[in-house]
Chains A and B, each alone.
Chain A
Amino acid sequence: MKHEKLLKFGGHEKLLGFAGKKTFKLISLLIVVCLASFWLIEQSPIDPVRAYIGEMSVTPEKQAQLEEYWGVNSPPQEKFLNWAGNILKGDFGTSLIYRIPVTDVIKEKFTASLILMAASWLISGILGFILGIIAGMKRGTWIDKIIKTYCYTLAATPTFWLALVLLMVFSVYLGWFPIGLSVPIGVTADNVTFLDWLHRLILPAVTLSLLGVAQIAMFTREKLKEVLSSDYVLFAKARGEKGLNLVLRHGVRNVALPAITLQFLGFSELFGGAVLVEQVFSYPGIGQAAVSAGLRSDVPLLLGIVLVSALFVFFGNTMADIIYEFVDPRIKQEEAAS
């Protein structure tokens, strides 16, 4: 009993330590990301005033006035402190392209992307896991070889290329899906039906999923191999367990957590993939917004997106850490042993 209490107390202490460490890491990460991206933008030939003016013709006086208003000529450190100060207050500035606050743009675009990413995260995770289990169970057979070939091919395929191929086959030749955009042209956002929206989500989500499958499937396959050669599976066999039941009882149970952890660690790739896929499919998500912000010198939006994406990836990694440190009993076992 006493031992148990000690353990619990230990667990509590561990949780606090973990939260503290993570918070510290997050703050330092954000500071570094802010500094680095701000410095990069400072060094780039982007002229925010030019971007704001766009195609309009303005007098040089007016332009000088705008430069004065935005503090273009003030020293970089002053600019940075100004910007960082506003961010701390929750003000990310106004997007130069959309002419609305950056937070609003990010909210809208990120929601659209989140649905796309969540769908492909789930599909790739589940499909990859199942394929990995099958390949691991049937190691060396033709089905394993097919799955392996599929995974290697996909792992070597550029995202945008796969997106283009799918677009060509399913949208152009077969005409099953629209070529792009998340809503039909000429329909206001209020009149878009759920089915319309879903219909347009499918192809980008499938593209993104197919690419995610490879990594998780190969990982699951290797992990299952490891589990199947473990002492506890040997003992299960010695007790008469066999076949699919053995894999389901011991294999899936022991491979699932590491696979989910890996899936969370894949958030950065997911985000990167989303940028490309959204671009090809003209899906109005955060990825596409990032590309336009970059191409059209929308500095506030670009910096905002950089920060949000850093947070997103950090969240994925933290989830992976939580699973590793707190959910997986094997880690506790190792800790207890040491």
Chain B
Amino acid sequence: MENKAEINVEEGLNTEIEINEEFGNKLNVTSNKRPISELDSSTEEKKKTEALLKVEDISLSFTQYASGLRQTKLNIISNLSLEAHSGEILAVVGSSGSGKSLLAHAILGILPSNAKLDGKIEYKGRILTQEKKKELRGKEIALVPQSVNYLDPLMRISDQVIGDVAEEDEKLMKNLQRKIFQRYDLKPEVDKMLPHELSGGMARRVLVSTAIISSAKLIIADEPTPGLDEKTLNETLSYFKDMADNRCAVILITHDIEAALKISDKIAVFYAGTVLEVANARDFKNNGENLRHPYTRALWNALPQNGFQAIVGHQPMQDEVIDGCVFYERCSKKNDLCSRGIPLLKEIDGGVVRCNNAVSEEIPNSDETSSIHGHELKISAKEVKEV
């Protein structure tokens, strides 16, 4: 079990390449400076089927009763788009308490009743309705919660991991649960324990087991690494890497960008209820010159090892009405256009960004990267039509 703690990057890349071979027919789709609208429909079709989960322009708001009977609307998520692909880890990185968890809840359909969700969520190319969510959650879409508080305090661990199953399946599931626990080095006595008896590391493995036992295709991990020591952190991350290697799509919601970079293929930067940029993990290097959004760059440069420079200001409050770019107030490159209307999504260098000023920068070793991440479209500076 010990060796699990270390993430084998080499191995990770190998699997990546294997995956790409599977998608071999798409390896050559490398076009430059051609608007996406002009791409032939078959390529677009393929791209569509490729994404296991496609979140398009969703907005989430809460109706609240302020003083008296006055209703107020609180916008938590607005114009958020992202995609999760099988065999890949997408990290959604943003500061704590900014509504990232609600994104997970929106996908799973477990939002509170006063929440209003707009926009489109597609799973396997089909619209994910609330009924569909109810049907799929726990089966094809699994959540890995952030702490042991998400386990029933009075239920034995094995019963919780097995979940609510039909009586005739119970024995089968029990065997499966035992096997999974064996793999995660959870001894038989853990089966009979109650959540409060678990150590931090054990709790992680139990929570991950709940997703594994479901054999889900899409795993949403909500802050799975809070306050973990280095060893447990790496160990936990390796579990998600394993899931991706087994052809699952993993969405890793976290505020820890460093942890996210260790295993993720793509990083979605969450800010003020929206995703400002989806960058490839390899874009995070040097001074962040490959990053597309000024906020992502600021985030990267704020890390202790990258200069520790903080930018002034704070995220807009959730009840603020913003006409332009949500990052306008803090942006150093802002212009008039930025204060009028939300910037459109652009696809640049294999990532997407919501910034008016973002332009493609030629990457010298683009050929090498494309052979690794070949199945991604490499398109430069063009706008994707707003839906």
Residue numbers of A with Cβ under 8 A of B are 231-232, 234-242, 245-246, 249-250, 253-254, 257, 329-330, 332-333, 336-337
Contact = CB atoms under 8 A, between A and B. Distances in A.
Given A240-B138, A240-B139, A250 B196 contact: no
A187 to B, nearest CB: 50
Interface stretch (B18-26, B144-152, B324-332): B144-152
Contacts of A246: 164
B149 A232 contact: yes
Contacts of B147: 231
B142 interface: yes
A235 B137 contact: no
Interface string B110-126: 10000000000000000
B134 A333 contact: no
Instruction: Name the residue in B152, B163, B196, B214 with the highest tally of chain A Cβ atoms < 10 Å from its Cβ.
Output: B152
Given A241-B164, A333-B195, A235 B154 contact: no
Contacts of B145: 231, 235, 238
Nearest to A256: B154
Given A234-B150, A236-B164, 18 more contacts: A231-B147, A231-B150, A232-B149, A235-B143, A235-B145, A237-B110, A238-B105, A238-B145, A239-B138, A239-B143, A239-B164, A239-B214, A240-B139, A241-B138, A249-B155, A254-B153, A330-B154, A333-B196
A232 B164 CA distance: 14
A238 B154 contact: no
B298 interface: no
Interface in B164-189: 164
Given A246-B164, A253-B152, A238 B196 contact: no
Contacts of A250: 152, 155
A238 B105 CA distance: 8
Contact of A232 (B105, B139, B142, B150): B150
A161 B145 CA distance: 53
B151 A232 contact: yes
Contact of B110 (A234, A253, A336, A337): A234
Contacts of A234: 105, 110, 150
B81 interface: no
A253 B155 CA distance: 8
A242 B150 contact: no
A238 B147 CA distance: 15
9 contacts: A239-B143, A240-B139, A241-B163, A241-B164, A246-B164, A249-B164, A253-B155, A329-B154, A330-B196
Contacts of A238: 105, 108, 110, 137-138, 142-143, 145
Contacts of A245: 164
B154 A254 contact: yes
A253 B195 CA distance: 14
A235 B155 contact: no
Contacts of B138: 238-241
A240, A253, A333: which has the most chain B beta carbons within 10 Å?
Answer: A240
Contacts of B280: none
A2 to B, nearest CB: 13
B299 interface: no
Contacts of A242: 134
Contacts of A332: 196
Contacts of A231: 145, 147, 149-150
Nearest to B220: A238
